[in-house]
Structure 1
Amino acid sequence: MSELPDNLRRQVVAEVYRQAGELDWDGLTDRQRSTHYDQWLDDPGIGQQLTRFLTRERARVWLKDVPMKEYARARSGIGVYADLVTMRLPSPGQIAQQVLGSGWSMVIGSIQEKPNRCLITDGREQRLMMWGPPKTLRDLVWAGINALIDTPHQPLLVVATPQGQRLDEGEKRRHIRLGQVAGLDVRHTVLRMTHISRPNSPA
């Protein structure tokens, strides 16, 4: 929807992300999210700005397909809106350290998407780390199988659960077993949010 001026687009995304952070978006049900989309359409800083250029229906689609489709990646420091979030997930390098230890870090410039992945190193070897929430396990496993064929780097699949959600031990064992069948290293970790103060957002 190129009819939106760039400065307005970023202003609206920043306000959506500020409110989503306050709402604990991950913890909302689909019905609650739908309610908030409707509320955003009536918000002077969001919907009333968008409907200067879009119909109300198209503005609602835009909210779902642009800022909120990018929200999880932006909180991981990935994508064009990464600098607009107020709640930040651990960076890829921090995830690697949570799973493998403090000696690991991300190889700069190696981040790719769909699924999220990057090279990580401990100074001696490099691995291809892929990560995502439990619902993306199938995509992670398929990408990992392809990586075994297409890259020289041993894949590491990280099932990353947001803080406040949990997997039971049976689910974790099943994930690990599925990885073993495919010849893949599957690990689990919890992603804890940190708050980022913005110049025009509450501390």
Structure 2
Amino acid sequence: MNDMSLPLVHVIDDDTPLRIALYRLLSACGYRVVTYESAAEFLEAPIPDELSCILLDMNMPTTNGFQLQEHLNKNHSHIPIVFLTAHGDIGLSVRAMKAGADNFLSKPVQKDELVSAIEGALERYREFVGERGDLSTLRLRYAKLSAREVEVFNMVVRGQLNKQIAFLLGNSERTVKSQRASIMEKMEVSSVAQLVLAARQLGAI
């Protein structure tokens, strides 16, 4: 399937018959599928920034699945990983999950279990993209604040009152109220609680 609106699944497995079977199965389930016979082949390919996940064989020669996961983590990849292994190793699965794997399945895997794992991984990716988009919007709003408004913003979200802020900045309370109103308007929030939440998302507190 070549419909670019469909979610993309990267299948990385050195077992050629299985790779072909997974390609056919997942294509029939409504996914776009790209297959790779090694971690190196995957790393050489251009990876588009779109709704996708990785179906990754744990036991491969040269670079195994966990090593690829480590490499992707170091390069700040956010594509969810679903591991496949022919050897049910509990210790390995725990290690992979702690490193951020979305799921860990044993071969042979049932169709329903596989699709469920992929859908879960894609949903996590959607949530990440949504959060990233929200943060980008907040940063754009925050960039509109003047230097003095940034000072007032930081004091307000830490719970300081108008008269305290006015005293610390050498301003009148009326000036601080005006600055607070401008901050709320630029940040597009209607309450101090929402402003505090925005500050947390921005890492300001």
TM-score normalized with structure 2 length: 0.31
Structure that is richer in strand per residue: 1
Structure that is richer in helix per residue: 2
**Structure with larger Rg:** 2
TM-score normalized with structure 1 length: 0.32
Higher relative contact order (CA 8 A, sep 6+): 1
